[in-house]
Amino acid sequence: MSATLIKGSEISKQIKEELKLEITELKKKYNVIPGLATILVGEDEASKVYVGAKEKACKELGIYSERINLPGDTKEGDLLALIERLNKDDRIHGILVQLPLPRHINKTNVLYAIDPKKDVDGFHPVNIGKLMLGEPDFLPCTPHGIQELLIRSGIETDGAEVVVVGRSNIVGKPIANMLLQKKKGANATVTICHTGTKDLASHTKRADILIVAAGRPKAITADMVKDGVVVIDVGVNRLETGLVGDVDFDGVKEKAKAITPVPGGVGPMTIVMLMKNTVQSAKMHAGIV
Ligand code: GUN
């Protein structure tokens, strides 16, 4: 078997078109323009690329965007004061502080300072708590993108054995929580594997849907999956040979029913879900939802 490709690059375009229509209508009917502020502290090259892509997506969709670049030696207090200003700014419905932050800044203090109603990353503890309770305002962007990929590719999650490799706060823990909710596009039996897992392959071989966010190239090889598995590769590893995921794509695609490529799989979905959250926030602030 050679797998069908789950093309996030195409599915994300479709969602962008839906969002464009929604944004045009918001402006026409309610005079509301969604606004996103992105904050980048320091000179991390990958972060610059990510923030640039987010800004570009805003422009493309008609979302007002404010990009704030701060020097790497910015004091934590100054960053917190900026967030406080943006919390009060009516043009801004979403505030995103790009991670990682320089070491002298306490990430927790910064993420807690963002108004949960403007936390379009879904990283604030209030939003993480609401997600666990199944009543989210904002779903974190990468897990939300993964769920949309599954739904829009017609992959049944109801009763499926889902195995998540990786327990990060950004991907592993939230996607596991989302897929175990008793909801459409969820209701799965979920296992989370991590660096403390004893026999990783014994778990991954059981998966109907395998979600890999391990942060390591070739963490999953063909001998670790069953025939007909659906594989979502969240990895982004920059090697000399180019960008690769966490899954040995060439080997695993021969056994999988469907698989996301890297690049062009989960990555483009993350950005579009950020746009979706910003639109949703603008609607919430205007009392439209
Ligand atoms: N760094 C890597 N991924 C993300 C993300 O989704 N949001 C933010 N704010 N920073 C990141």
Q: Tell me the pTM.
A: 0.96
CATH of the domain at 243: 3.40.50.720
> Is residue 105 located within the same domain as residue 167?
no
Number of neighbouring beta carbons within 10 Å of residue 45: 8
In-domain check, residue 19 = no
Given a cut of 70, is residue 162 above it in pLDDT? yes
In-domain check, residue 7 = no
> Is residue 243 located within the same domain as residue 161?
yes
Give me the residue label for tokens 């919390």.
87
In-domain check, residue 68 = yes
Task: Please tell me if the CB atom of residue 98 comes closer than 6 angstroms to any atom of ligand 1.
Answer: yes
Task: Please tell me if the CB atom of residue 277 comes closer than 6 angstroms to any atom of ligand 1.
Answer: no
Catalytic one among 98, 147, 181, 280?
A: 98
CB 272 within 8 A of CB 12: yes
Q: From atom 2 of ligand 1, which residue's Cα is the shortest distance away?
A: 99
> Is residue 83 located within the same domain as residue 151?
no
> Is residue 257 located within the same domain as residue 146?
yes
> Is residue 262 located within the same domain as residue 148?
yes
Task: Please tell me if the CB atom of residue 96 comes closer than 6 angstroms to any atom of ligand 1.
Answer: yes
Model confidence pLDDT, tens digit, residues 94-147: 999 999 999 999 999 999 999 999 999 999 999 999 999 999 999 999 999 999
What would the DSSP string read from start to end of 202-220? Answer: HHHTT-SEEEE--SSTTSB
Q: Environment class of residue 59 by beta-carbon count within 10 Å: exposed (0-12), middle (13-18) or buried (19+)?
A: exposed
Contacts (Cβ under 8 Å, ≥6 apart) of 245:
212, 217, 233, 234, 235, 236, 237, 260, 261, 262, 265
In-domain check, residue 286 = no
Contacts (Cβ under 8 Å, ≥6 apart) of 214:
165, 166, 220, 235, 246
In-domain check, residue 46 = yes
Given a cut of 80, is residue 200 above it in pLDDT? yes
In-domain check, residue 93 = yes
Given a cut of 80, is residue 289 above it in pLDDT? no
In-domain check, residue 234 = yes
CA 137 to chain CA centroid, nearest Å: 15
How many structural domains compose the chain? 2
- The domain of 45 spans 33-115
Q: What is the mean pLDDT of the chain?
A: 97
Catalytic one among 119, 121, 137, 246?
A: 121
In-domain check, residue 55 = yes
